[in-house]
């Protein structure tokens, strides 16, 4: 893989020559004509989804946190620690990916994604500062150092990213693309469901509001990498090795199940080791179908947490439903409806 030039006078910006990777772009953002129309549509949606965490009141959450069970507190803290890692590494890594993308409309949405990942990191800081006792705040950021399962989990994805930085080969870029897709489409969601489960019992409502907005952003990031992978496959038929993709999916599913059982286990009412396995394998099947591959987990065709979708409000017409979210977010213009999201 060759990193694109900052300015390439010999480049050609015609739509017939434009490619996701390995194109010969001038690197000028000619956005009057775009080849990948889905990116232009997604850009407008992502811009319309702007939000800031400080608009959500977390006063009651601090009271609720003190009344959580010890198991709920441990899960709350641990999941926050993992989510902080995910958004931190994406904030730093997305520009590395964009350096090799030669379609300006794709570069544009990747830059917005980087900004959104930074907002998510700030959101976690706001949650921690507003809710957790001062003496435990640094513990959340450093938990990965002491928790072996979390360390191994973080290391897997980070090493794939780092290997590409050190050796930007086609093979390593292909793995980075799949790793990005896995992170955005599989790694967040058991954690998100934990917060929605608390919200279903009127606990940590403000936290759930913030998580819901992060969740919606992440679904747009799923679309980005889903579409990029499919476009690259069309333009470079042998770029991805299916065996490698399936191997990475199996590893990610295994780690997601181990981590969720480690941090949540069967100690939280409404979540069991079976529901974790059912949900993770169902989700992996959906994500594989999203990039045109055959699902690998037979018998996992239903979402066991379907009842929590009303708390996530990430499906449907994109309007905030008339539930507990109404008091905190209806003042924003944050439409989440884009064509093709039913395929996520």
Q: pLDDT of 140-184, one tens digit each? A: 998 888 889 999 989 999 999 999 999 999 999 999 999 999 999
Average confidence (pLDDT) over 25-37? 88
Q: What is the pLDDT of residues 91-124, one digit of tens each?
A: 999 999 999 999 999 999 999 999 999 999 999 9
Which residue has better confidence, 152 or 322?
A: 152
pTM score, two decimals?
0.88
Q: For residue 27, what pLDDT is reported?
A: 87
Mean model confidence pLDDT for the chain: 88
DSSP string, 86-129: HHHHHHHHHHHHHTTB--HHHHHHHHHHHHHHHHHHHHHHHHHH
Q: For residue 320, what pLDDT is reported?
A: 30
- Residue environment code for 257-295, b if the CB has 16+ CB neighbours within 10 A, otherwise e: bebbbebbeeebebbbeebbbbbbbbbbbbbbebbebeb
Average confidence (pLDDT) over 39-59? 93
Q: How many Cβ atoms are within 10 Å of 88's Cβ, its own excluded?
A: 17
Tell me the C-alpha distance between 148 and 341, whole Å. Answer: 36
Domains in the chain: boundaries:
59-317
* Per-residue CA distances from 266 to 22, 149, 239, 261, 276 (Å): 48, 17, 41, 7, 10
**Among 124, 196, 297, 300, the one annotated catalytic:** 124
pLDDT at position 335 over 50: no
Q: Give the residue from 262, 258, 266 showing the smallest Cα distance to 156.
A: 258
pLDDT at position 321 over 70: no
Q: How many residues does the chain have?
A: 344
Assigned CATH topology for domain 59-317: Ribonucleotide Reductase, subunit A (1.10.620)
Q: Cα torsion for 228, 196, 295, 316, to the nearest 10°?
A: -60
Is 332 one of the annotated active-site residues of the chain?
A: no
Q: Please, what is the end-to-end C-alpha distance for the chain in angstroms? A: 29
* Per-residue CA distances from 153 to 257, 293, 311, 325, 344 (Å): 11, 25, 27, 32, 24
Percent of the chain with pLDDT over 70: 91
């Amino acid at each position: 893989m060759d990193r694109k030039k900052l300015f390439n006078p010999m480049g050609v910006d015609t739509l017939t020559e434009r490619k996701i990777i390995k194109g010969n772009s001038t690197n000028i953002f000619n956005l009057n004509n775009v080849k990948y129309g889905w990116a232009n549509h997604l850009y407008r949606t992502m811009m319309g989804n702007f939000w800031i965490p400080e608009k959500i009141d977390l006063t009651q959450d601090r009271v609720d946190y003190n009344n959580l069970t010890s198991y709920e507190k441990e899960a709350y803290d641990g999941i926050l620690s993992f989510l902080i890692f995910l958004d931190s590494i994406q904030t730093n890594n997305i520009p590395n990916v964009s350096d090799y993308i030669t379609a300006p409309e794709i570069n544009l949405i990747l830059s917005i994604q980087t900004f959104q990942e930074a907002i998510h990191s700030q959101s976690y800081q706001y949650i921690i500062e507003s809710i957790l006792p001062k003496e435990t705040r640094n513990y959340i950021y450093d938990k990965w150092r002491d928790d072996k399962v979390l360390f191994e989990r973080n290391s897997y994805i980070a090493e794939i990213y780092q290997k590409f930085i050190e050796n930007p080969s086609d093979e390593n870029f292909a793995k980075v693309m799949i790793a990005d897709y896995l992170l955005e489409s599989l790694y967040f969601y058991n954690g998100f469901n934990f917060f929605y489960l608390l919200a279903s019992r009127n606990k940590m409502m403000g936290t759930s509001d913030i998580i819901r907005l992060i969740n919606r952003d992440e679904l747009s990031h799923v679309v980005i990498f889903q579409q990029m992978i499919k476009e690259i496959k069309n333009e470079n038929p042998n770029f991805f090795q299916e065996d490698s993709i399936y191997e990475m999916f199996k590893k990610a599913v295994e780690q997601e199940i181990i981590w969720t059982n480690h941090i949540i286990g069967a100690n939280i009412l409404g979540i069991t080791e079976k529901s974790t396995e059912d949900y993770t394998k169902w989700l992996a099947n959906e994500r594989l179908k999203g990039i045109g591959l055959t699902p690998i987990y037979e018998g996992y065709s239903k979402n066991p947490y379907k009842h929590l979708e009303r708390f996530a409000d990430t499906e449907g017409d994109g309007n905030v439903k008339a539930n507990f979210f109404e008091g905190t977010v209806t003042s924003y213009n944050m439409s989440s409806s884009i064509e093709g999201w039913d395929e996520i």
